[in-house]
Amino acid sequence: MSKQSNTEPLSVLTRTGLTLAGLVGLLLGLYFTIGGGMLIARGGSWYYLLAGLALCTTGVQLARRRSSAFVIYLVMLIATALWAVWEAGFDFWPLNTRIFMFSMIGMLLAPFWPVLRRGEGKAPARGAAWALAAVLLVCNAAFIYGMFVPHGKFGTETPTAAAGNAGTEDWTAYGHSAGGDRFAGATQINRDTVKNLQVAWTFHTGDTPMSPDGGGSEDQETPLQVGKTLFLCSPHNTVIAVDAATGTEKWRHAFATHTTVWVRCRGLAYFDATKPLVQPTATGSTPVSPIAPAGDPAACRRRIFMNTIDAKLVALDADTGKLCDDFGDHGIIDLKAGLGKAKSPLYQLTSAPTVAGTTVVTGGRVADNVTLDMPGGVIRGFDVMTGKMKWAFDPGNPDDHAAPEQGKTFTRSTPNVWAPMTYDATSNTVYMPVGNAAIDLWGVKRTALDETYGASILALDATTGAEKWHFQTVHHDLWDYDVPMQPTLIDFPTQDGKRVPALIVGTKMGQLFVLDRLTGKPLTQVVEHPVKPATIPNEPYAKTQPLSVGMPQIGADVLKDSDMWGVTPIDQLMCRVIFRGMRYDGLFTAPDTDHSLSFPGSLGGMNWGGLSYDPNSDMIYVNDMRLGLWVHLEKAKNRGGASDGNEAVNAGMGAVPLGGTPYSVLKDRFFSPLGIPCQKPPFGSLTAVDLKTRSIAWQVPLGTVKDTRLYGVQMHMPTPIGMPTIGGSLTTAGGLVFFAATQDYYLRAFDSSTGKEVWKARLPVGSQGTPMSYAIDGKQYIVISAGGARQSPDRGDYVIAYALPGHP
């Protein structure tokens, strides 16, 4: 007599579903097996190969309708969790990418385990299956919840008192003051009242920037405010004056600029001839020159200066918007004079001029990596009233401060100053962030003076143009690590309780350098760090590079395999394979004919947005982006055509020749196949640095993926992962830090003592500008310019002011 079978036949639908699930599992397993094998061949982790084999086995057993499929998968899942904690610790985003996808699959598979067991004639074990599903459900819920919680390094959650500063001075320079502090002394808007902020007015400039890759037109301005007038500049160089309390237009002056590459105006400069001159007090300083007599004593006593994208310096009457006829050639100076061949956009200006006493100082952006023969990076000082050139500082001929003789030019292809400058009235000194010679990636033909001034902070006498000192932040720069931001003047607290007049500047390498203003000597420890050379023939590689170890290094960690990231283990594996396939020696990995990784890349780190400084609390606030860049040099074949001066990454253009060198260059961001940075989040942060302790007080991820698009699809998820930032911050005596230039469309306020987000307002489009603030008739305003976030198709022409409701 035969024994009766307890096997329960499965329905056709169940068998089909299990077969399809098995096929998916097998394909996923093959991906991890092949990718894991590639990773092992490159010296990477064995985990992915082993996980791939387990997934293949799971898929086969599912298709065979065997209950062991779930057991094998469960063992793999547990091993994955243990491996993830071993490799990444309890850092949320690395754990999420390693475990979440697999735990979701496990949760969905668990209910099928009893079905498979019944099909084999075994006890269903429903209780165990549903218990496992419940545990995985809780784990997955925790992962999902964690996606909407900021993760990162936080400081104390106990706010310190905001030190009130009664100052309500105007915002008369790009960085608020000539010292670039980006600090507003008004306290009406503070930690207690900021929640009540609302839109006071909205103004439209009429100039909507368009830029599919970031190399076209962008709105990146910080307005000026003098008295009851706000002065704006649009990307295409229209200057507009509006009523600062109502947003009503007073006048506008448009300039006919025609360039289509790197179109932006970051700011303006202001001079008031009716106010007494401030003379320096530091011993040995050169006096500020007296104001030259004006042609019309009643005209243009208050002046607005702008650098245009087609390389002109213009002076406008701040009251009427008309050109100042007594300045230069009827209000205009051609900055291409003396440069030789300098067509736009290979030479142009995007940063504001700097008023230094009675001298207005300009640098110039020389497009990178086009050709060895480019315009020089001369810096010039002009009389604020007549426009007559007072001096020139030619990095290729630093002792001659005169204009070149007829038929000659300033030295070609020298390091340039494209970012904003800073002026110290106490010593009559201009501090300049210096870039590099014409070709960043190949330095065989650089001169000794190129090597001296490249990537340095340069201090010049504002009256004479004579050099006072310079300090180099990168030796023989091959990475486009030019100094990207305006130095900020601070009173630096020393460990013996004294204060030293100093400046602080951030770099694309995530470094913060603190220098004595009078001597240029570092006030915190800077070491010469040994670095490895590459193999380009005749390249005089630097053997060491300066690292500012006495201050926090922000976003400049040396990447490891375990730092590779992805939305899922699928793209994480690909990032690990790509990472292992490149040469990477840490910071300052030199480019070569292989594929090398530079992290941070040439975008930073920190960039032109600069720092903000709270003198009451001795804190600075730093925003950064964390984007790597891979670079590949190849023997020049002219396959892609010469660069047009657009400094957006060029992977889609083919290999672009570096004119005058033996090489072309191919480069791109270190992204996964999904277009996401390959290293773990955050990709951008806001950091408070305590100058007294020289340490990080707090750090928070900055921005969400809400408005980010992947393959044209908007994410809509307010996940605070921390996105790349541009622009800069504003700090206030009310205990707040404002920031807008994230990839999502918000203006945010943070508690300056804890980093806690205390307010945010939705903008109509994203912003790349820096917030500013002022007070008029007892009412404080916060103003932001919003023309569209980087890489966003949503564009506008908004300038928006926020204030508290009601009257003072």
**pLDDT tens-digit readout, 547-599:** 999 999 999 999 999 999 999 999 999 999 999 999 999 999 999 999 999 99
- Mean pLDDT score, 289-296: 78
Strands 527-530 and 612-614: unpaired
CA distance linking residue 487 with residue 180, whole number of Å: 7
Are 320 and 402 in the same domain?
Answer: yes
Q: Is residue 634 part of a domain?
A: no
Closest CA to 368 of 669, 634, 590, 643: 643
- Please tell me the predicted confidence (pLDDT) of residue 295: 65
Nearest to 604, CA basis, from 622, 582, 621: 622
Q: Give residue 159's pLDDT.
A: 60
pLDDT at 70: 92
Residues 319 and 408 in one domain: yes
Q: Give the integer Cα–Cα distance in Å for 188 and 780.
A: 6
197 and 90 in one domain?
no
Residue 441 covered by a domain? yes
Global pTM? 0.95
Q: Which residues, at least 6 apart from 610, have a Cβ–Cβ distance to it below 8 Å? A: 175, 180, 182, 420, 485, 486, 488, 506, 728, 770
> In the sheet that 456-461 helps form, which strands lie side by side, from edge to edge?
422-424, 429-433, 456-461, 467-472
Q: What phi-psi label fits residue 158: left (phi over 0), alpha (psi between -120 and 50 degrees) or beta?
A: beta
**Domain end among 425, 447, 479:** 479
d(CA 158, CA 164): 18
The answer to whether residues 297 and 253 belong to one domain is no
Q: SS3 of 608, please? A: coil
Assigned token pair, 371 = 């050709």
**Sign (positive/negative) of CA torsion 671, 674, 680, 683?**
positive
What are the C-alpha distances in Å from 350 to residues 54, 309, 792?
56, 6, 21
Widest pairwise Cα distance in the chain: 124
pLDDT more than 70, % of the chain: 95
120 and 174 belong to one structural domain: no
CA distances to 218, 229, 336, 373, 437 from 309, rounded to whole Å, are 12, 24, 12, 20, 20
Mean pLDDT check: name the lowest of 135-139, 168-172, 660-664. Answer: 168-172
Residue appearing with tokens 């980093």: 755
Q: CA dihedral in degrees (252, 258, 260, 265; nearest 10)?
A: -30
In our burial notation (b when 16+ CB lie closer than 10 A, e otherwise), range 700-722 reads: bbbbbbbbbeeeeeeeeeebbbb
Q: Are residues 230 and 282 in the same domain?
A: no
> Three-class SS of residue 687?
strand
Same domain, 16 and 138: yes
- Nearest residue to 738 via CA among 709, 780, 677: 780
Query: What residue type is 795 in one-letter code?
Result: R
Residue 808: inside a domain, yes or no? yes
pLDDT tens for each residue of 469-515 = 999 999 999 999 999 999 999 999 998 889 999 999 999 999 999 99
- Give the per-residue pLDDT at 433: 98
Tell me the sheet residues that pair with 306. Answer: 314
Residue 583 DSSP class = B
The structure tokens listed for 519 are 């001597």
Q: Are residues 106 and 209 in the same domain?
A: no
Q: Residues 236-260: what's their mean pLDDT? A: 95
**Of 146, 163, 182, which marks where a domain is finished?**
146
Say what the pLDDT of residue 317 is.
Answer: 97
Give the CA radius of gyration of the chain.
29
pLDDT at 639 over 50: no
What's the CA gap between 351 and 366, in Å, rounded? 12
Mean pLDDT, rounded, for 692-700: 96
Residue 516 has φ and ψ, to the nearest 5°, of -65, 130
User: Quick one: pLDDT at residue 638?
Assistant: 53
pLDDT at 649: 63
pLDDT, tens digit (0-9, with 9 covering 90-100), for 262-273: 899 999 999 999
| Same domain (yes/no): 137, 28 | yes
Does position 162 have pLDDT exceeding 90, yes or no? no
> Is residue 227 located within the same domain as residue 325?
no
Contact 346, 374 (CB under 8 A): yes
- One-letter amino acid for residue 63 of the chain: A
Residue 600 domain-assigned (yes or no): no
- 186 and 58 within one domain: no
pLDDT band at 808 (very low <50, low <70, confident <90, very high): low
Quote the CA–CA distance of 367 and 416 in Å, as a whole number: 10
Last residue of a domain, one of 130, 146, 162: 146
Asked whether residue 311 is assigned to any structural domain, the reply reads yes
Residues 211 and 360 in one domain: no
Q: Total structural domains in the chain?
A: 3
Q: Where residue 1 falls among pLDDT bands split at 50, 70, 90?
A: very low
Q: In the prediction, which pLDDT does 673 show?
A: 87
676 found inside a domain: no
* pLDDT above 70 (res 4): no
- For 122-154, the pLDDT digits (tens) are 888 899 999 999 999 999 999 999 999 998 766
692-698 contacts: CB < 8 A, separation 24 or more?
692/493, 692/618, 694/524, 694/550, 694/551, 694/552, 695/552, 696/153, 696/155, 696/552, 696/554, 697/155, 697/156, 697/619, 697/753, 698/153, 698/154, 698/155, 698/156, 698/754, 698/755
Judged on CB neighbours under 10 Å (0-12, 13-18, 19+), 124 is middle
The closest alpha carbon to 335, from 276, 229, 410, belongs to: 410
Q: Provide the CATH number for the domain around residue 411.
A: 2.140.10.10
Question: What's the pLDDT score for residue 166?
Answer: 44
Task: Give the range of the structural domain holding residue 142, as residue numbers without chain letter.
Answer: 12-146
Query: Does residue 298 register a pLDDT over 80?
Result: no
Reported as a single tens digit per residue, the pLDDT across 342-363 is: 887 889 999 999 999 999 999 9
| Residues 646 and 368 sit within 8 Å (Cβ to Cβ) | no
Average pLDDT of the chain?
92
Residue 675 inside a domain? The answer is: no
Which residues are the active-site residues? 480
Q: How many angstroms separate the CA atoms of 326 and 251, rounded?
A: 20
CB 250 within 8 A of CB 227: no
Position 223 in a domain = yes
